[in-house]
Structure 1
Amino acid sequence: MKRIFSRCFIALCLLISALSAEAQFNNIINKTHAERYTNLRQIIDVAINSGKWADGFQSLKTLKQVAIKHHDDDLVLEAELMWIMLDREAHKEAKKKHILALKALIARSQKEGNMQIYIRSRRFLAHFYWYETKNYERAFEEYLAIHPLLRKISEKDFPEKAYFLSQIGEAYYFFSDYTNAINFSREALMVDVIPDHRGVHNLAMNTISLSYMKTDMLNSADVYSKKILQNVGIGDYAVWKGIAQGNLGRTAYLRGKYTEAVPLLEACIERAVIISDHTQAAAALTLLSDIYFRQNNISKAEKTIHEARKYVGLSRIKQPLELLYQVFGKVNAAKGNFALTNIYLDSATITHNAFEKDFNSMQMLRASERSQLQAHRSDMERVAAEKQIKTLERNILLTLVLLLLMVALYFYKTYYYKSREKQRIINDQLKKAEQELTFATIQLEEFTRSISEKNLLVEELSVRYGINESEETVLELQKITILTDEQWEYFRSLFEKIHVGYLARLRTKLPGLTPAETRFMALAKLNLTYKEMASTLGISVQSVRVIRHRIRKKLNLPEDADLKDVVSTI
């Protein structure tokens, strides 16, 4: 029973713990990047600064689970970026793994259209190239890739905008490209910052001030150092005031205004010591020691030199050593210790040469990286060009196939429609011809019937009233049935429609036929009797027989042959 109770208690504790862990992220769910920027920054800062990697990873794991649960895709990507940042601190040796993870996140954020994660991932990759692999040209490539994107996004939506621009300016200053260092830093100053990033403007102004010092534009350098003094706040007062005073002290030193430079450098040293900024302290003490020597205060110069040497060692920055060794040499020369003077002057020369060598090596490294990067880009462009050519060839082939199909379809449809139209015309013509034939047959039959009826009428009248054929009445009636020239033309057109080509074949077979004989042969084709033929032609029956006889003679027909057989074969 105790075991069961114990298990239940443990499960309850785990549930409460999970709920409380999830509850801490509820206020950042489905918010914009700007709205949750401070909260997310605190999460990663606590995870990194505490050094408790397991707790940090667990916190980010819970954050991602909460984001997935609430369908907050932006927060999912945010958790993955923070995971890479924390893993970089926990496992510094896994450089290749981190680079691959960042590249994968960059590709994913670009695909999902998440601009802020895309920019931050590329900026982090640039930072990684710069500090972890010393691949400066790759770092510059990443910086320059995100720069046009930074111009498109508002600082209200992207609080890190000014910070990223100031970092690009610092990168150019590192390689002595002071023009670009000033330009990017000025661009950072044009961007509004949130209270947490107020020091970013000081960082940009410091880069500009140092760049002007390097180009001997000391008045311009002082302008920006004084602006830093006007921009200091409670939280960063000691840091930035000391840096600005150190810059002003340095420009005064370079002008030879030592009385003006001393209090500024002393103030810089005081604040640098308080905040353990050994680099600032070493640089200011070195300049101060040289000023004391120039003021002929040898004892104070010697004391300051040793103090400066101590902070150079603590800072592990060797830049002040050249001037420091020179001052050591001058102090020992003033004390008459020429052996040490030569040693320190030689050390100053060696340090100077070492710095020159390092600087030249760094410039050559960047040039080499640029060359390698250019070669890499050329290879990539060649591969891309080959791919583009293959794609173009494929597209051309597909286009040609498509065009051929379209042309084939066009010709098929054209042929189809033409064939259909032709068939329609033929069908219409056949239908029309059929209708004309039907009409002609009816007309011809009507014409023949009319002739027969008229002949019957003449015969009837002759029989009923005993009228002779020579009498006028009969003659008038016969005139009605006679086929005139005009009627013959009409008759022939109807006849040709029904018996197509008959008259032409008749003329070919019997070229010597007279018009009367031709008409006889046409009427014979209609199976008219001799009496009907005589009535139609306006001649006597005997004349019809004469015409028949002439035709038989022309055809050389024997007496027993029937002329109807000849008519039917034509």
Structure 2
Amino acid sequence: MESICRVVRSTIVWLWAFLWFCCNGPFALGQPAAAGRASQQSQGHPDSVLLLLKREHAEAVQKNDMRGAGITLQQMGQICFNQGHYAQALDFYLNADKLFDDLKAADLLAGNLNEMGELYYFNKQPLKARTLFNKALTLYREKQDRKGQAVVLGNIGRLYEKYKRYDSAFYYQNQALNCYRGLGNKTGKARIYENLGSIYEDLGKYDSAYVCFHTSLQLYQKDRNESGSIEVVNNLGDILRKTGKYKESIGLSKRAFTLATQTGNMYQLASACRDLGKAYQLMNQLDSAYHYLELSRRYSLDVYSRESINQTAFLQVLYDMNKKSEEIVHLNAIRKTNRIIALAVGTVLVLLVILAFMIFSRQRLKIRDQRILAGQKESIYEAQKELMELEIQNKRLQEESLKHQLDLKGKELSTHTLNLIRNNQLLESLRNTLQEMIKDEKRDQKKQMQQLIQQINQSFNHDQHWKEFTAAFEQVHQSFFDSLKRHNADLTAADLRLIALLKINLDSRDISTLLGISQDSLRVARHRLRKKLNVEQGDNLASFIQRI
């Protein structure tokens, strides 16, 4: 009886081993076809497009359509490249490159090489980028594809411009322009003229740059390319501003702002507002400059917020794709297991024949599981690394925003100070005039003028103006008064006002005007303040305050 039980237990163990081997070993069945195909791409929803292309790729592989599989891999690489995921994009490009090379599809291979060249260009690897561009250009020339040649030549020109080799940049951009002219391609010509304008701008040849940008704009408008037109209008406004034509520059920048508003292009809105702010600042119209620079900052933050949301959704899709692939494999394994269980019931006797083979199979499964585990750990590590990089970028942008806010507060403090100086100068002028009039007027008039002078004297220390100045000062120089009180806690309000004015580097004449006192009274006040702060003999009072 005991021996029969051992035989039964052994048979059950081998049966389950056989089932596991059939599910995961070399006899496992193929995966089911993917449901649905991606019909078109959408720039606004890269995560959704990536999922559709992933299904398309699975269908192409199942149908053994290696050309379609390569095209979908290339498109997925392009989406990842546009989203800034260069490592994932390069992986898709390399897989597509292998398929196109095996198929000897020169046109597709050339396009893929050109896109990989752009990837290396944006990753600041010019030698690799140029090598890939050269290979793509050779293939396009062999196929006599002039449009493909024009695209690659333009990219090579941009590469030389990036590294300030302007003669070579002009040469390749003009070659690309000749190709587009032969094809009658307006958008292509417009793009090259825009590139030529950028080179002239780098060289400081603004007249030539303006001509190129203007030609580019005309071509974009003829081809009804709104996105290209907005960018070129912005460039034209930038050239006019650099050449001192501020009013014309503002007109073009406002035109770009209107076009960007109509098309909902937030990036170009931010760029147009930034250019308007610079132009108004150069014209010394500071209110308008501040208005548009603030709008630019808001639009930039909006663009950044939207990009952050899209990046988060895109990362989630990449993670979900890997996770769903694992779930599909697992579900397929369960389905195969159930199918094989029904078959295995009638094949128990065959287990004795495959006994020797099972030892090898177990070892193989163990190695495969280890590889899967290592791959999962690597995927998790890459995802964590990308999230950390995104967080670092967020903190960097936050620091830049805080710095910008501090600069604005500094400007606001300067404005308050200037207003106080002008107000007190005006009041002092009126007071001096009235004092001169008192000497020649009658008694009743003298009394009225003296009352007016008394009111002017009172306005020299108007609390509201000082409150606004103090609020702006504390925002720029945070914790300054707290540090000051550690030197002397008995400082009066007048002492604090004098210290604040010395902190912002005002000269003695402006300080006396703001405080409504004479130069002699100011010297006395400074002497008393030195004693209160225990400033050593020979040490400059203003330098001592700057160190606090």
Q: Answer whether TM exceeds 0.5 for this pair.
A: no
Rg larger in 1 or in 2? 1
TM-score by length of 1: 0.43
